[in-house]
């Protein structure tokens, strides 16, 4: 699943490509992807809208329009293709097409068809539960040791890996970056929240900011079938220290990287560097 760096890469691509264009027509091939409107209402409200810019909240891509905000979630393998209308495309995975006033088309493809769209009135979008439940992220100054301690107080018996994956406190972290953040912070993924000291909370914050910023710089991590958009692959996988490196030697100490199942997630760590 694309995490914050991958979604931010897509956002930047879309913002550069389609901002200031108008939506002139829409083809919908998978109606269930629209979660809060009928096909007819979806098209009626969107056609004629100008795309002001593309924003992001956590793992959600926000199309900021004249009167509405269209919220797109890529889920596991969703991706956007910005093309000429007659360009070839794999129609088997095609879910939606947005025809634009500049003569181009924005196509959304998803091999698993899990991607979703929510359409919200612009004046209400910041108060919508879909948005308000998303936590703080990256360089938000409100992410402090006290913020994490207070936010995770009721989760004191949960593992640190599990709470990092929850999007309501810190947004954008998935399985890959949770493993990498905890390695950088030198904390075992199996540690319980109540076991962490203030220095370890700060180490998590510092690792989160450093790793996410570095991953964004390198356009995210391209693994399995996920690419951010046509012709663009991230290369942060070259910098991964533990994720996907089971049974290989740790770059720091030479100890074999371990992989376990934790809360149903494959979890990688160094038993020597992490405590």
Active site residues: 2-3, 59, 265
Cα(49)–Cα(87) distance, integer angstroms: 24
Cα(105)–Cα(185) distance, integer angstroms: 43
CA gyration radius, the chain? 20
- 34 contacts 119 by C-beta, under 8 angstroms: yes
- H or E stretch including 27? strand 23-28
Cα(66)–Cα(26) distance, integer angstroms: 17
Cα(183)–Cα(268) distance, integer angstroms: 9
Structure tokens at 3: 């995490």
Structure tokens at 18: 């389609």
The values of phi and psi at residue 15, to 5°, are -60, -40
- In 138-189, which ranges are continuous DSSP H helix? 145-151, 160-165, 175-185
């Amino acid at each position: 699943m694309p995490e914050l760096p991958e979604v931010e890469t897509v956002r930047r691509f879309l913002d550069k490509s389609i901002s200031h264009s108008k939506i002139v027509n829409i083809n919908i091939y998978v109606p269930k992807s629209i979660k809060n409107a009928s096909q007819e209402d979806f098209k009626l409200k969107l056609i004629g809208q100008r795309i002001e810019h593309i924003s992001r909240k956590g793992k959600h891509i926000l199309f900021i329009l004249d009167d509405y905000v269209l919220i797109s979630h890529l889920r596991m393998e969703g991706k956007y293709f910005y093309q000429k209308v007659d360009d070839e495309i794999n129609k088997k995975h095609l879910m939606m097409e947005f025809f634009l006033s500049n003569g181009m088309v924005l196509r959304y493809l998803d091999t698993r068809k899990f991607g979703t769209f929510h359409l919200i009135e612009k004046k209400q979008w910041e108060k919508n539960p879909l948005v308000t439940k998303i936590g703080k992220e990256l360089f938000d100054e409100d992410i402090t040791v006290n913020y994490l301690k207070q936010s995770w107080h009721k989760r004191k018996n949960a593992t640190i890996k599990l709470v990092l994956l929850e999007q309501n406190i810190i947004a954008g972290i998935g399985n890959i970056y949770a493993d990498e953040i905890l390695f950088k912070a030198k904390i075992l993924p199996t540690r319980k929240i109540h076991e962490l000291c203030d220095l370890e909370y700060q180490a998590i914050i510092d690792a989160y900011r450093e790793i996410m910023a570095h991953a964004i710089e390198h356009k995210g991590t391209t693994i399995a079938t996920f690419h951010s958009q046509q012709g663009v692959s991230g290369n942060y996988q070259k910098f991964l220290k533990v994720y996907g490196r089971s049974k290989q030697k740790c770059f720091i100490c030479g100890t074999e990287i371990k992989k376990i199942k934790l809360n149903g997630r494959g979890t990688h760590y160094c038993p020597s560097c992490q405590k």
